[in-house]
Structure 1
Amino acid sequence: MTTNLLQDYPDLKDLYVQNERMTREFDHSEDDSIKFIGKGTFGDVFKAKHLIDQKEYAIKTIVIGEKSVKRVKKTVREVYDMTIRELKVWAKLNCDHFTQYRSSWLKAEHKDKELVLTVYIQMDLCWFTLEDGIRKMRQHFDRPVNQFLPTLGYYMASELLIEILEGIDYLHSLTPPIIHRDIKPKNILIKGSPYGRFIKLADFGLATEHLKESMTHTQNNGTDKYIPPEVRLSRCYGTKADMYSIGVTVNELFNFALHSPEPEDDNYMRITKLNETLVDGFPSKRPSCADTLKTRHLWHIPYRAITHTNNGTELQVI
């Protein structure tokens, strides 16, 4: 019946539909039912246990409806092709820096006489987002928003920043480079691994390959707060656009305001100095991921440089 539905749409009839896959492959019992866990840039994310391997996965759904695509002056097929193209960019990133793509499939149905396609994307389930992690750090160290963290908190933030930079540097060093275009704490996930890493970059819905320096991209793409000036105002931008988004993320990760008074804390003097270059309005003045990693000794605290006090809650540089 589903195949006949798409047969009525000449530009979609070649698509392969698996309407029953969620029902057949994932546990719908009362204890292990599919649960909503969050919202991504283009769809909702659910947690579900696979019936065969009994592992829990994150399932992202991207809904493409006839009415919604008309508002952006595109066809259902054009939006579907864009979704799959961006999905392919992510799926080939078989690396520990990113949430791992496992599978995807398509569902087609009519809702209120409207054709609706739903793309399901199965990926590894992580513990929580960096946004959640930042909130947990503030609570643990009893710090309000935009108040410097103690030394242990700074150490934790600097460790996480290194992993974020390593993941983005991997994207930027590919041939051709990939621009993520939606870096923010909500799209950075936390999960431990056998390799000692915690950061998993996610949500590649806006990711694009940067084939050449003269290449233009979609203007004003991303989440408003994290959009660099060149993306907001122009279609000409490159990998340095991601560095601006990292800079805004650094403000939140290290818990300080962009234009805070100059700190007396030596560590925060270093990270705020770095941050000023990351959020520079001119892309050419921002450091690359590779350059920022090369200067990590200027802003990162190694674990051996801190020691517990007697009560075990505060640390000091030694």
Structure 2
Amino acid sequence: MRLDDKIYAVKRVQFKDKENRVLKEVKSLSKLDSNFVVKYYNSWTEGKHLYIQMEYCPQTLADVLKDKERAFGRQSPDESMTVFEYFMSCELFRELLQCLEYLHNQNPKVIHRDLKPSNILISRTITNNTFIKLGDFGLATEHHRPSNSHTRGAGTPDYMAPEVHLYNTYDCRADVYSLSLPNGPPVIKYWKRLASGQSIMT
């Protein structure tokens, strides 16, 4: 454990059924060292629990999306964005694309597989003009070669690419699709209807 006057986040997880996922998260975080990923410091076990010491980020994108109308002075979600809100939205998305570019440029490439607002963290400080970081790598996997594709459905259903949701082959592009759905749920109903054989045309 790192002991100093800084504030850290400590994730406490009971082994049991999540053992493989938790160990995978530790392995992924320990290999990634970038401003685009929440920084990993240490991990240890106590009894049946694993503790992961990480960089502390006070907010997530989910927090921002929940309060954005009030924060930007809009009376309802139906009102048009203000210029400042539009600028901030573009900046957030630009940084998210940089985060993905970092993961997908690793050797081997890393597919996050669980991109959603609660796993997109906002740093307390701006470093190299960035303040967005990716967290929760428990479902991340390595993509070793262009011909290597995956079929295991993994992630949060509301943010899965259709090919992941339907257990078809997929690659790094599934992350790009997830990133395009900051509000997720409106499209999941179409995937469920498609998976059940229903027509998506109305």
Q: Give the TM-score band, short-chain normalised.
A: 0.7 to 0.9
The equivalent position to 1:92 in structure 2, one of 31, 38, 41, is: 31
Instruction: Output the CA distance in 2 between the equivalents of 1:220 and 1:149.
Output: 35
d(CA) in 2 for partners of 1:148 and 1:95? Answer: 35
RMSD: 2.3
Q: Where does residue 46 of structure 2 map in the other structure?
A: 107
TM-score by length of 1: 0.54
The structure with the largest alpha-carbon Rg is 1
| Correspondence for 1:180 | 112
- Tell me: CA distance 1:82–1:226, structure 2 relative to 1, closer, same or farther (3 Å): closer
Return 5+ residue gaps in structure 2 as ranges: 188-193, 195-202
Deviation at 1:58, TM superposition (A): 0.6
| Cα shift at 1:146 | 5.4
Aligned twin of 1:244: 177
1:231 aligns with 2:164: yes
CA distance in 1, matches of 2:147, 2:168: 10
Find the aligned partners of 1:152 and 1:82 in 2 and give their Cα distance: 39
SS in structure 1 at match of 2:137: coil
In 2: Cα distance, 1:248 partner to 1:146 partner: 18
Partner of 2:153: 220
1:60-116 alpha-carbon deviations (Å, 9 max, x no partner): 122122xxx3xxxxxxxxx534532332122111111111001001122xxxxxxxx
Distance 1:235 1:120, change over 3 A: farther
1:53 aligns with 2:14: no
Distance 1:141 1:228, change over 3 A: same
Residue 139 of structure 1 is matched in structure 2 by: 70
Partner of 1:126: 57
Q: Establish whether residue 162 from structure 1 lines up as the match of residue 104 from structure 2.
A: no
1:201-227 Cα shifts (integer Å, max 9, x gaps): 111111110112443435321111101
Does the aligned pair in 1 maintain the 2:151–2:168 contact within 8 Å?
yes
Which structure has the higher relative contact order (CA within 8 Å, separation 6+)? 2
- Post-superposition Cα deviations, 1:108-161, rounded to whole Å, max 9, x if no partner, equal 2xxxxxxxx211100011121111122332212233335431111000110111
Q: Following the alignment from structure 2 to structure 1, what is the Cα–Cα distance between the partners of residues 65 and 22? A: 30
SS of 1:121's equivalent in the other structure is: strand
Report if the CA contact (8 A) 2:119-2:135 is conserved.
yes
Amino acid at match of 2:49: T
Q: Distance in 2 between matches of 1:167 and 1:91?
A: 16
Q: Verify the 8 A CA contact 1:215 1:236 in the aligned structure 2.
A: no
3-state DSSP of counterpart to 1:145? coil
Q: Report the residue type matching 1:139 in the other structure.
A: R
The secondary structure found in structure 2 opposite 1:248 is coil
* Distance of 2:126 and 2:41 partners within structure 1: 17
Shift of 1:182: 0.7
Mapping 1:148-297, distance limit 5 Å: 148-191=80-123, 192-217=125-150, 219-249=152-182
